[in-house]
Amino acid sequence: MMSGSKRRNIVIVGGSIAALTSAQILRAEGFGGDITMLSAEACAPYSRVPLSKAILAGVAGHDTCALPLSSDDFEIRLDQRAVGLDDRNRVIHLLSGETVSYDGLIVASGARARRLSRPGQRGEHVIRDMDDVRTLSPRLRTARSVVVVGAGFLGMEIASTCVKLGLTVTVIDRDPPLRRLLGEYLSAVVVDRATAAGVRILQAPDGVELIGTEVVDGVRYGEHTVRADVVVSAVGDIPNTEWLAGSSFRNEGPLVVDQRCIAANDIVAAGDVAAIKDPSGTVARLPHWNNAVRQARSAALALLHGDEAPIAEPDHYFWTEAFDLQIKVCGLIPGSTVPVVLERNDDTNTLLLQWIAPNGTAVAAASVNRKMPVNKLRRLAHEAVVASS
């Protein structure tokens, strides 16, 4: 890999928090060459976190989630979609037909929403970017019912917003809502709140099919059919790596990188597009905000310092907000393990929970509607329990 001191032109493909963070780290480290960010979106970089909540509800706009920029530090080129990479000649091909050269490349092209509709079938909604919300939000204002396919964080956040908008809401998934992410105990807390708010929750172990000859107007699972004015899919995402097809290191799925986020000579990657391979050979993709930031830092430093750059330690911290529950989690919650309840207040729906492994070691902690510094929650996820109720 080229020495960081010899680099003069670093290109970042993407406009996400990972892309922006990597540019900021490059400047903070004293990189004095050109930095060009190529974003496929037409609007300046923004946080995707509020899309399924305040922005979908129509109580906030793009300006409220715009990420802070310093236009003097690097060039941001909007509506510039990368469609090919010639890594032998260090050239990126754009949809416009233009080419962009680099001597260091940061791949932060993110991911797009996975869809369930058949070719030619219209009307399936997703939420992944600002354009998705601009399409869906007005549709919800003329609808009376919605089916949300997918009961992960995004699906339940969308369902919560739709309830607040006065719609009749059905959520359907293969598994119980949030069970895989929050474990049985905490997922049950969310389900209780959702059903109390009027959400109908259905399980479809064999999956669903979107129905409608031309326009999606419901879902079918097994022998059952659910009709709705609006159908929203929240069934995961697909890393945007197709544009790498002409490169020498193209692989299916996410772009696999090492622990310093290095993909190939002079190329690093960070964010939802990347999956880190650890020394044991395990490949993991961690599509959460904190991991995007950590990976962006390691990726930028790897371009400048090579093997002297820090590794991107995985951060198992995430949060969600739905049905008036603000949930923060540190660690990996064991599915069926009953947590220790450190605090509970039914009047305010406040909880502080800790999960303990059979050997007595704490492995995860979560707060619900409780203000707590993240560092304190992290300590609870690793320290022995000190109190219970």
Give the domain 4-112+237-308 fold: FAD/NAD(P)-binding domain (3.50.50)
pLDDT at 384: 63
Q: What pLDDT, in 10s, does the model give residues 280-317?
A: 999 999 988 999 999 999 999 999 999 999 999 999 99
Q: What is the mean pLDDT of the chain?
A: 93
Mean pLDDT over 145-150 rounds to 98
- With CA atoms as reference, report the closest residue to 158 among 65, 233, 62, 59: 233
Tell me which of 264 and 4 has the higher pLDDT.
264
CB-based contact 155:171 (threshold 8 Å): yes
Mean pLDDT over 353-382 rounds to 94
* Separation between Cα atoms, residue 49 and residue 66, nearest integer Å: 11
pLDDT at 389: 39
Mean pLDDT over 371-385 rounds to 88
Question: With bands split at pLDDT 50, 70 and 90, how would you rate the model's confidence at 6?
Answer: confident
> Do 4-112+237-308 and 115-233 share a fold?
yes
Burial of 279 by CB count in 10 Å (0-12 exposed, 13-18 middle, 19+ buried)?
exposed
> Position of tokens 């003069």?
8
Mean pLDDT over 92-120 rounds to 96
Where do the domains of the chain lie?
Answer: 4-112+237-308, 115-233, 324-380
Question: With bands split at pLDDT 50, 70 and 90, how would you rate the model's confidence at 213?
Answer: confident
Q: What are the beta bridge partners of residue 345?
A: 350
* Separation between Cα atoms, residue 34 and residue 28, nearest integer Å: 14
The dihedral through the CA atoms of 142, 144, 149, 151 has a sign that is: positive
pLDDT above 60 (res 37): yes
Mean pLDDT over 88-112 rounds to 97
Give the domain 115-233 fold: FAD/NAD(P)-binding domain (3.50.50)
Percent of the chain with pLDDT over 70: 96
Maximum distance among all Cα pairs of the chain, rounded to whole angstroms: 64
Question: With bands split at pLDDT 50, 70 and 90, how would you rate the model's confidence at 266?
Answer: very high
How many separate helices (H) and strands (E) can be counted in the chain? 7, 27
pLDDT at 388: 42
Tell me which of 125 and 337 has the higher pLDDT.
125
